[in-house]
Amino acid sequence: MATGEVTLLLADMKRGHKDALGKLMPLVYAELRRLAGHYLRGERAGHTLQPTALVNEAFLRLVDQDRTDWQHRGQFIGVAAQLMRRILVDYARQRAASKRAGAAVTLDEERLSPADNADRTEEILAIEEVLDRLAEVDAQQARIVELRYFGGLSVEETAGLLEISPRTVKRDWAMARAWLRAELADRKSP
Amino acid sequence: MTPERWASIKEIFNEASDRPAPERPAFLDSACGGDEPLRGEVERLLRQNGESLKSPAGELLAEASSLAGGPADRWAPGTLVGP
């Protein structure tokens, strides 16, 4: 992989070139998937993957470190979080579909108990569904949810990326969480 | 729901959650000024306040990424993605 290509695409994105994101996504996606696969193969019991570490490693591998700056890094993390959202939602959809079809689930079930796994799948799909509604009324708050929930970023990382205070992230995240929980509760007992 | 309505709910929710629970009803009386749907929405959120929501990325991302045929297969060169 030419590190120059991703570096140039990040620079294009910063200048507002609309097609840069479309070209960037498959490259970042392939690298995230490769690294995650690598992690799975070398996994030790009880060792949890750190999403931020994975994204950092992808950034170091894909981006020419001599020709980059912190803004590129922020953009890269933003793109990675969008991709992680897609990866997790696609996964949850497949799980839900195979459950409906009664097909044997071939994925590794050992990491979580079946009940936890089903709850998580349902939660991911429900949040994906209501997050677009939140984006319509508060785009920044929806971004915070995307970065924290799907991207696994900490309060401080989210604040740095969005250039807002950690206090704002904490408050917006607390309210979004309460709202998401309320929406999920209403779905279970309408 | 409009962005303005959401901003009002957020402001009142934030202020209410800073106050001890016994003070909240009186605060909501004055902050919502008789707007019952507004108050109802803030109370609905306050009931869920403090609930945690853990990112599924740490536990599920590696497994999810190992699925064959992920999003990359949908993105032929030139496909328009993103907002």
Give the ipTM of the model, two decimals please.
0.80
pLDDT beyond 70 at A130: yes
Write the residue in B48, B62, B79 that is nearest to A36 by C-beta.
B62
The pLDDT score that the predictor gives to residue A110 is 45
pLDDT beyond 50 at A80: yes
pLDDT band at B76 (very low <50, low <70, confident <90, very high): very low
Q: What is the SS3 assignment for B82? A: coil
Backbone angles phi, psi at A8, to 5 degrees: -65, -40
Distance from CA of B54 to the nearest CA of A (A): 7
Question: What tens digit of pLDDT does each residue of B1-43 get?
Answer: 899 999 999 999 999 999 999 999 999 999 999 999 999 999 9
Write the residue in A54, A91, A133 that is nearest to B60 by C-beta.
A91
Contact A35, A26 (CB under 8 A): no
Question: What tens digit of pLDDT does each residue of A37-48 get?
Answer: 777 777 654 566
Percent of chain A scoring above 90 in pLDDT: 43
Distance from CA of B39 to the nearest CA of A (A): 14
What is the gyration radius of the CA atoms in chain A, in angstroms? 18
What does the alpha-carbon distance between residue A175 and residue B48 come to, in Å, rounded to a whole number? Answer: 9
The pLDDT score that the predictor gives to residue A64 is 83
Distance from CA of A62 to the nearest CA of B (A): 17
pLDDT beyond 50 at B72: no
pLDDT beyond 80 at A164: yes
Helix or strand run (H / E) with residue A101: helix A70-101
Helices and strands in chain B: count of H runs, count of E runs: 4, 0
* CA angle (A62, A150, A177) in 5-degree steps: 150
Give the DSSP per-residue string, A44-75.
-TTPPP-HHHHHHHHHHHHS-GGG--HHHHHH
The pLDDT score that the predictor gives to residue B62 is 79
Averaged pLDDT for residues A60-89? 87
What is the gyration radius of the CA atoms in chain B, in angstroms? 21
Contact A63, A2 (CB under 8 A): no
Write the residue in A26, A36, A178 that is nearest to B65 by C-beta.
A36
pLDDT beyond 60 at A103: no
Count of alpha carbons within 13 Å of B10, Cβ hemisphere only? 22
Q: Which residue of B has its CA nearest to A23?
A: B77
The pLDDT score that the predictor gives to residue A184 is 87
For testing contact with chain A, the best of B52, B59, B61 (most A CBs within 10 A): B61
B22 in contact with A at a CB cutoff of 8 Å? Answer: no
B64 in contact with A at a CB cutoff of 8 Å? Answer: yes
A117 Cβ partners below 8 Å, 6+ apart?
A95, A109
Task: From A54, A21, A170, select the one nearest A158 (Cα to Cα).
Answer: A170
The pLDDT score that the predictor gives to residue A81 is 93
Are the beta carbons of A178 and B63 separated by less than 8 Å?
no
Write the residue in B10, B51, B61 that is nearest to A181 by C-beta.
B51
For testing contact with chain A, the best of B15, B55, B74, B80 (most A CBs within 10 A): B55
A187 Cβ partners below 8 Å, 6+ apart?
A126
Any idea which residue has 């991709």 for tokens? A83
Contact B41, B9 (CB under 8 A): yes
Backbone angles phi, psi at A109, to 5 degrees: -95, -5
